Amino acid sequence: MEGVTRTAKAFLLPGAIGALILYFSYHALAGDQGLAAWNGLQADETSLEGELDKLKAERVTLEASLKRLRDQSLDLDYVEEIARTRLSYVRPDEVLVAVR
């Protein structure tokens, strides 16, 4: 009987270690935080960085527009430009031509 337990122990420990190695290897490659998901996360990061750069540029444009509309530095030509483009404002002697 003692011989059987020794051979069982001889296979049990390496088998358990092998199972742990397989378990962690699988999750390192295919898990939610694994290498397969990492490539997708890298693509998401790249697209989000591009979107962030676009939003930063839009913010700079809006801040410049806001600066031109403040009371201390009101640009009347800019106000007229906004009224003409966004509100379709025209003078009585002008003709509005819509271009799309």
Structure tokens, 63: 């801040």
Specify if 99 maps to a domain. no
Specify if 77 maps to a domain. yes
Specify if 67 maps to a domain. yes
- DSSP 3-state of 88: coil
Residue 53's alpha-carbon distances to 8, 33, 43, 56, 62, in angstroms, are 62, 27, 16, 5, 14
pLDDT at 18: 92
Residue range 20-44, pLDDT digits in tens: 999 988 888 887 778 888 888 899 9
d(CA 41, CA 37): 6
Specify the pTM. 0.55
List strand residue ranges (DSSP E) for 1-100, in order.
none
Specify if 64 maps to a domain. yes
- pLDDT level of residue 4 (50, 70, 90 thresholds): low
Specify if 65 maps to a domain. yes
d(CA 57, CA 49): 12
* Residue span of the structural domain in which 66 resides: 44-93
Specify if 18 maps to a domain. no
Task: Let me know: does 79 contact 69? Beta carbons within 8 Å.
Answer: yes
Specify if 29 maps to a domain. no
Angle at 61 between CA 55 and CA 64, to 5 degrees: 140
**Per the structure, how many domains does the chain have?**
1
